[in-house]
Amino acid sequence: MRFRGVFLLCIWVGLVELSIGARVRHYQFDVEYMIRKPDCLEHVVMGINGQFPGPTIRAEVGDTLDIALTNKLFTEGTVIHWHGIRQLGTPWADGTAAISQCAINPGETFHYRFKVDRPGTYFYHGHYGMQRAAGLYGSLIVDLPKWKKEPFHYDGEFNLLLSDLWHTSSHEQEVGLSSKPMKWIGEPQTLLINGRGQFNCSLAAKFINTTLPQCEFKGGEECAPQILHVEPNKTYRIRIASTTSLASLNLAISNHKLVVVEADGNYVQPFAVDDMDIYSGESYSVLLRTDQDPKKNYWLSIGVRGRKPNTPQGLTILNYKTISASVFPTSPPPVTPLWNDFERSKSFTKKIIAKMGTPKPPRYSDHKVLLLNTQNLFDGFTKWAINNVSLTLPATPYLGAIKYNLNGTFDQTPPPENFPQDYNIFDNPVNPNATIGNGVYMFHLNEVIDVILQNTNQLKGNGSEIHPWHLHGHDFWVLGYGEGRFQPGVDEKKFNLTHAPLRNTAVIFPYGWTALRFKADNPGVWAFHCHIEPHLHMGMGVIFAEAVHKVGKIPTEALTCGATGRLYLDKGHY
């Protein structure tokens, strides 16, 4: 009897732990335009609840987030994507206009309600037009339950959300990109760390060659850097996420090593670096040991990589609490590696491997899709295309259209799953013209899918850009990277099937390929696209759909536009 009593007590304690750990966390988000000075100059930015960036969401594994988002913009719709959250069972909450839901109209409120099932460093951002470039973003952190421990020790934590800022509005950028001839957005004017940067002065003017004056802050300025205050001989976890519209970045802290332990919400085999590359859409956790001279302060810098930079470094200070935070470091900030040193970039990326115990990829795939990434023309307009199709989204969200067999709402012919194997990726395209379309790649439930991303030469001249690709609704295994054109039947032998990292964002390097594998185990419709905002705007993306017939009842408020809206009006229900 005593044993039975102890056994029942253990069950009861376990249930109490679960009930205490998992909870519903309610947020009210009002999306609006605001006038702010993020880089010491006045700009119109998008924010939430009067904050820029938006409020940080913090939850524990198993929690349900209930976010009532009210659109307080005057003349445009909005949605928010919860970047890195897989939305298992809630594909309508992914926050992708025309894919998972209708855009939320001005004055309307939409309830995002979903469960966060894994710990990690995530973020959220606008996914309608180029609202991310306008400033609609914020951090989303998912902690382990309090009774569980991370696989690494740390004494304190910081959160860095990295972004880029233009002095032209996102609307003006959209119009330029959609014009004939295309007007490119150019490089950002300022890099922001947690929404703060400096355009008309420099924190490091005394140490670098610049015409800018030394920044003199009196306290309380919106553009003053958020300083990282630390104690000597401690270990700090720094969470880093990049929501940049364009810039690939490199981050370094003077005299300090960074130990990478998490990438895109997945633990990785720890490794130490002096600096790290971070592409748009990626997130990391690094461990920092404060083992340097405590009588000094140190620079934290971010600089542009992958594109010829025309933007000053973003800077803040690591302050040892043993001295005043107003004391400047005694040496110049870390020098950002050369923008086109791609071998250095590849070296860092290839160091990221799965931590022991991470699920391994299936040994074989059921379905292979090869995606050729090209710059093209359509009726004289500059576009980006995949297998010669530039994505343009339909008026009716795919999720409702496929669920309710509204076949006339998007292209019924799937896009090509391959490209000519004699295509010369090092030359300008022989046929510069592309088509536009909104067809869908359809997968069966639990199919194992291989995706090969192939990079190429640009439309005119010589050059090939870095593209970070993000998959909604899933993580994928990164099986490998290669140079030149992917060779079917040959390059598969190089795939890493033993310690492939799980990611939700992966980069294709210039003139190279990247191989990914994922399981189509999450019924819904999911975007897969370049995370560079202007590239997506110009058509660089595809749509994956899997087992949509197994999706449960979709909330009415998600589908009140297009053909699904008319269906609702005709029948009164779905």
How far is residue 135's CA from residue 303's CA, in Å, rounded to a whole number? 19
Tell me what pLDDT residue 424 has: 95
Instruction: Give, rounded to a whole angstrom, the gap between the first and last alpha carbons of the chain.
Output: 54
Task: Give yes or no for a contact between 509 and 481, defined as CB atoms under 8 angstroms apart.
Answer: yes
DSSP structural state of residue 570:
H
How far is residue 490's CA from residue 558's CA, in Å, rounded to a whole number? 45
- Strand, helix or coil for residue 549: helix
Four-CA torsion 509, 511, 515, 520, nearest 10 degrees? 90
Task: Give yes or no for a contact between 432 and 376, defined as CB atoms under 8 angstroms apart.
Answer: yes
Tell me what pLDDT residue 570 has: 77
Phi-psi region of 514 (alpha: psi -120 to 50; beta: other; left: phi over 0): beta
How far is residue 206's CA from residue 330's CA, in Å, rounded to a whole number? 10
- Note down pLDDT in tens along the chain; length 574 residues: 444 443 434 444 444 444 455 899 999 999 999 999 999 999 999 999 999 999 999 999 999 999 999 999 999 999 999 999 999 999 999 999 999 999 999 999 999 999 999 999 999 999 999 999 999 999 999 999 999 999 999 999 999 999 999 999 999 999 999 999 999 999 999 999 999 999 999 999 999 888 999 999 988 899 999 999 999 999 999 999 999 999 999 999 999 999 999 999 999 999 999 999 999 999 999 999 999 999 999 999 999 999 998 999 999 999 999 999 999 999 999 999 999 999 999 999 999 999 999 999 999 999 999 999 999 999 999 999 999 999 999 999 999 999 999 999 999 999 999 999 899 999 998 889 999 999 999 999 999 999 999 999 999 989 999 999 999 999 999 999 999 999 999 999 999 999 999 999 999 999 999 999 999 999 999 999 999 999 999 999 999 999 999 999 999 999 999 999 998 877 765 4
Tell me what pLDDT residue 18 has: 45
Residues across the chain: 574
Widest Cα–Cα separation across the chain: 83
Tell me what pLDDT residue 573 has: 53
Task: Give yes or no for a contact between 270 and 259, defined as CB atoms under 8 angstroms apart.
Answer: yes
> Hey, what amino acid is at 97?
A
User: Which residue from 48, 89, 47 is spatially nearest to 68, judged by alpha carbons?
Assistant: 48
User: Which residue from 295, 227, 283, 288 is spatially nearest to 253, judged by alpha carbons?
Assistant: 288
pTM higher than the cut 0.85:
yes
How far is residue 558's CA from residue 399's CA, in Å, rounded to a whole number? 10
How far is residue 496's CA from residue 519's CA, in Å, rounded to a whole number? 16
Query: What letters, b where the CB count within 10 A reaches 16 and e where it falls short, cover 466-500?
Result: bbbbbbbbbbbbbbbbbeebbeeeebbeebbeeeb
Tell me what pLDDT residue 20 has: 55
How far is residue 514's CA from residue 480's CA, in Å, rounded to a whole number? 6
User: Which residue from 541, 535, 540, 532 is spatially nearest to 247, judged by alpha carbons?
Assistant: 532
Four-CA torsion 145, 147, 150, 156, nearest 10 degrees? 90
Strand partners, 375: 384
> Hey, what amino acid is at 49?
N
Tell me what pLDDT residue 11 has: 41
Tell me what pLDDT residue 82 has: 98
How far is residue 127's CA from residue 124's CA, in Å, rounded to a whole number? 9
Q: Is 351 exposed, middle or buried (0-12, 13-18, 19+ CB in 10 A)?
A: middle
